Amino acid sequence: MNVTQARDLAAGLLGRPVDAAQAVGRGGNNRIFAIDAGTERLALKSYPPQAEDPRDRLGQEWQALSFLAGHGLPVPQPVAADPARHAALYTWIDGRPLEPADDAVAAMGAFFARLQALRGAAADMREGSTPVFAAEQAERQFAERLAPLAGTPALAAHLADIRGSAERAFARARAWLGAGFATPSARVLSPSDFGRHNMLAAPSGLAFLDFEYFGWDGPEKAIADAMLHPGSAFSAPERDRLKVLMLAALPDDPGLAPRLEAMIPLFGLIWCLILLNEFRPDRRARRGLVEGSAEARLAESRQLEKSRSLLSWLEDAHDLAPA
């Protein structure tokens, strides 16, 4: 979608003229345009279809933001949507990216607690994009993430290290979690793509963005993903503090803390693989990168270093290094 198309689409959704449209952001999955209509500024979000990921990202985010904004949480409010053209309008949040002085961890802990207080009102909410309600599902997701990368020569040594750590992590989780390798089917409301990369410092306080993958998830995955998301790049003390705050939001599940400790390495290893998506031809094409180009090589090198760094932390913090 280009700027002219964005302006015309926004005018159609609003039913009135639009003065200007400006591309302001592009993620791996979407594009954002600032729409000026009179004295009002809105955000137009485009959700291009993806052959390898047919999930209804627009519908997921529309339902999530309708629910969250309706309960007064600091998120954009839905305005209008055109599912046929894979786009929606939301209110604009005027803010800046977070700085080190902004306490993202405290804000995330408070936001997560507010979400859990709303669980009784969210019976119709969809599941998150890749929920994990039992440890077996984490093992399956790990295998699914590994398969498209397995034949990549540049990753052979690193993937061997990841496989070795995974064998130790899953064996330990089986021992800790006991018979059936299952966790209780507890459910929490999870933003999924949750971190300071999706937060803005607005005049009224810290606001939260990007709920394409919001929904019900297992508490272990919700907490581990928030701790480990590369977009936040939390330090070890920040991860520990966030874990404490999110656990405190779920006092009705006394067995959660030991289950979480057993499963953090599993989700961390999945993140090690997600970070390597730049090596996948389908993901490279989505980002408009040409295999072997300087830009593609730079992206691959950057993501490989991030994956190695996370694996090193997992091995040290959770004793996964080979004997």
Spatial distance between the Cα atoms of 54 and 49, rounded to a whole number of angstroms: 7
Residue 187 lies in a domain: yes
Spatial distance between the Cα atoms of 211 and 194, rounded to a whole number of angstroms: 9
Q: Report how far apart, in Å, the C-alpha atoms of 175 and of each of 8, 89, 171, 178, 255 are.
A: 58, 48, 6, 5, 15
State the residue for tokens 């405190």. 248
Low-confidence ranges of the chain (pLDDT < 50): none
CATH of the domain at 268: 3.90.1200.10
pLDDT digits (tens, 9 = 90+) for 56-100: 899 999 999 999 999 999 999 999 999 999 999 999 999 999 998
225, amino acid identity: D
Q: Are residues 183 and 310 in the same domain?
A: yes
Q: Are residues 147 and 78 in the same domain?
A: no
Check residue 157 and give its pLDDT: 96
CATH of the domain at 11: 3.30.200.20
Check residue 136 and give its pLDDT: 86
In 10 A of CB 84, how many CB atoms? Answer: 6
**Residue 4: is it exposed, middle or buried by C-beta count within 10 angstroms (0-12/13-18/19+)?**
exposed
Residue 323 lies in a domain: no
Q: Tell me the whole-structure pTM to 2 decimals.
A: 0.91
pLDDT digits (tens, 9 = 90+) for 246-256: 999 999 888 89
Q: Are residues 158 and 280 in the same domain?
A: yes
**Residue 18: is it exposed, middle or buried by C-beta count within 10 angstroms (0-12/13-18/19+)?**
buried
Residue 24 lies in a domain: yes
Residue 99 lies in a domain: no
Q: Are residues 142 and 176 in the same domain?
A: yes
Note down the domain range covering 134: 104-317
8 Å CB contact between 276 and 307: yes
- How many domains does the chain contain in total? 2
Residue 147 lies in a domain: yes
Q: Are residues 113 and 38 in the same domain?
A: no
